[in-house]
Structure 1
Amino acid sequence: MYGQVVSTEKLTPQLVRVVLGGEGLADFEDPKSADAYVNCFFLPPDAPYGVPFEPDAVRDLPREQRPFPRRITVRAWDPARRELTLDIAVHGEVGYAGRWALHAKPGDRLQFKGPADGYSPDPAADSYLFVGDESALPAIAACAERVPSGKPVTIVAEVEDADGEIALDSPGELIVHWVHRAGRTDLDNLLADAVTALPRPDGSVSAFVHGEAAATRAVRRVLLSNGIVELERLSCSPYWRRGLDDEGWRAIKGQWVRAVNAETFPATAGDRAEI
């Protein structure tokens, strides 16, 4: 399956919106969950093929010529227009997905598999907590739009500075805490400290904590060690690791997740992070 770029928009210095359309989306199915994603295939500059391509045909190519898979959140799907919106985190020319998004123009094509479903806010929860950085903002925004009307929703989002803030909306009673990392050195604990400072919520909490690996791990510790979130209502996933490129992180991600899952807390032993 593939989409053709209809338009692009730079939402912030770190976030680019790409809208895909075209006949390649004819079989795309409406995602069921709030945090749905597509597994996109980004072609290297010297790829001797284009989109669409047959996966079997590229499997035996040298590694540097094969497409690089990356999971990208489905920000929105318009079934009437048959258009798919992806908000992609960018870090200059670093990273295959971000670099592609920065240079994408109408008519460019992107091949992918999916969508696959992930987290959705638990409708039975009393309140909702969504935490992450730019890489998680598209999923956080989608989740905030899917909570039951009138219920408390708290978002704690880390961005570079005020230019990285975006408009967020929800049918719930939304409170957003922006955390700016510009000029800070304690980056691993920025989000955890902000979550610790929040008033303790009443009742059950459905939580979504995704983004940088060390930061999500620190937030997870706060939530589980203090019994703020029950294990079955926590979605926690490390998208990337500070100091590593995409391939470096992919090489150690499984080991990292196993180490996180080995951490137990009196009230929540057995919780599992997501790969």
Structure 2
Amino acid sequence: MPLLHVTAVHPVTPRVVRVRFTGDGLDDFTTWPDQQLKLLFPRPGHPVPDLPADQSDRYGMAWYQAYRAIPEAERPWLRSYTVRDHHPGTHEVDVDFVLHDHPGPATRWARTAAPGDTLGRYGPSAVYRKTLGRSDWLLLAGDETAIPAIAGHLAALPAGTRVTAYVEVDGPAEEQPLDTAADLDLHWVHRHSPPGLGTALLDAVRAATPPTGSPYAWLAGEAGAVRAVRRHLIDERGVEERRIDFTGYWRHALTQDDPPTDDDLAEARERVATD
């Protein structure tokens, strides 16, 4: 498993910090929108191990089996993140970290990250590469954790593509530039409740008058909010399930280490059914 080494850290907004990494394999790093990285954060006193990466491993899971075999007290925390940008000339990638109010291991690490710090990396794997479906217009909706993926999609869209985007953030200070050649109708949604508790994103999408034509929707962010927006699109807007790509990036009051809830399991079944 390749290691990532921090080369630079700088704040993007009061709640988002961007960390630039270098490491083996980033010189010929194939890119696409919404690239998912598995990052391994070391436990105190235990450096990130160099896990095996067997090229003959068809499904790329040898590293995970080796990871699970590490005693729990020493096993790094595993979290999923999106590549924000790639710098092939310097063999570097940027990853944005949202600094949550109730910090887990990733937020704690990001708050003190400095050049020379090291994380483990798995991916991005082309096995998980997905493209947006064909449509008359695109709907992109999510919270601040989805901004890197939304930015990647927007940057890749050609001129003339009709896109409506709703991005939920704490307030104006959390808004970020999003460059695109597409015909973008961007709405920043300012929440009035703690992240994961309110309905600001759902309310904004529900109140909107959508463009004409058949949409394709891409939704990501807090799992409960994503499910609510998806259900609205299906039940109230008549959007076909197969025309919605949705992912719960995080769960209010839960971490990736916690077992899946009944809603999480139902979401997984629906994702498999629509893939």
Q: Under a length normalisation based on structure 1, what TM-score does the superposition of the two structures give?
A: 0.84
Q: Deviations over 1:20-55 (max 9, x none)?
A: 114x23575313x311111111111132x3464566
Q: CA deviation at 1:272?
A: 4.7
Matched-pair contact (CA < 8 Å) for 1:17–1:85: yes
CA–CA separation in structure 1 for the residues paired with 2:202 and 2:4: 38
Q: Provide the residue aligned with 1:43 in structure 2.
A: 42
Matching of residues 118-197 of structure 1 within 5 Å? 118-122=129-133, 124-182=134-192, 187-197=197-207
Q: Deviations over 1:179-221 (max 9, x none)?
A: 1123579944221110011112222222111111111111001
Unpaired segments ≥5 residues, structure 2: 53-62
Matched-pair contact (CA < 8 Å) for 2:135–2:214: yes
Which of residues 227, 233, 237 is equivalent to 1:217? 227
CA–CA separation in structure 1 for the residues paired with 2:82 and 2:101: 19
CA–CA separation in structure 1 for the residues paired with 2:145 and 2:218: 13
Matched-pair contact (CA < 8 Å) for 2:13–2:174: yes
Identity %: 34
Q: Is the aligned partner of 1:16 residue 2:17? A: yes
CA RMSD of aligned residues (A): 2.7
Q: Is the aligned partner of 1:109 residue 2:118? A: yes
Which of residues 227, 235, 239 is equivalent to 2:249? 239
Which of residues 90, 98, 102 is equivalent to 2:107? 98
Change (3 A) 1:110 1:271: closer
Matched-pair contact (CA < 8 Å) for 1:181–1:187: no
Q: Is the aligned partner of 1:70 residue 2:76? A: no
Change (3 A) 1:174 1:241: same
Q: Deviations over 1:213-235 (max 9, x none)?
A: 11111100111113453322311
Q: CA deviation at 1:93?
A: 6.4
CA–CA separation in structure 2 for the residues paired with 1:257 and 1:80: 40
Q: Provide the residue aligned with 2:266 in structure 1.
A: 259
Detail structure 1 runs of 4+ shifted over 6 Å in the superposition. Answer: none
Change (3 A) 1:41 1:185: closer
CA–CA separation in structure 1 for the residues paired with 2:233 and 2:74: 43
CA–CA separation in structure 1 for the residues paired with 2:84 and 2:29: 14
CA–CA separation in structure 1 for the residues paired with 2:241 and 2:178: 27
Q: CA deviation at 1:92?
A: 4.8
CA–CA separation in structure 2 for the residues paired with 1:62 and 1:215: 35
CA–CA separation in structure 2 for the residues paired with 1:199 and 1:140: 21
Q: Deviations over 1:55-109 (max 9, x none)?
A: 6776544312101111110112222221111112221561122222221111112
Change (3 A) 1:28 1:182: farther
Matched-pair contact (CA < 8 Å) for 2:191–2:198: no
Change (3 A) 1:98 1:227: same
The amino acid that maps onto 2:86 is W
CA–CA separation in structure 2 for the residues paired with 1:262 and 1:108: 38
Matched-pair contact (CA < 8 Å) for 1:257–1:273: no
Q: Please state whether the residue corresponding to 1:139 is helix, strand or coil.
A: helix
CA–CA separation in structure 1 for the residues paired with 2:80 and 2:195: 29
The more displaced of 180-189 and 155-164 is: 180-189
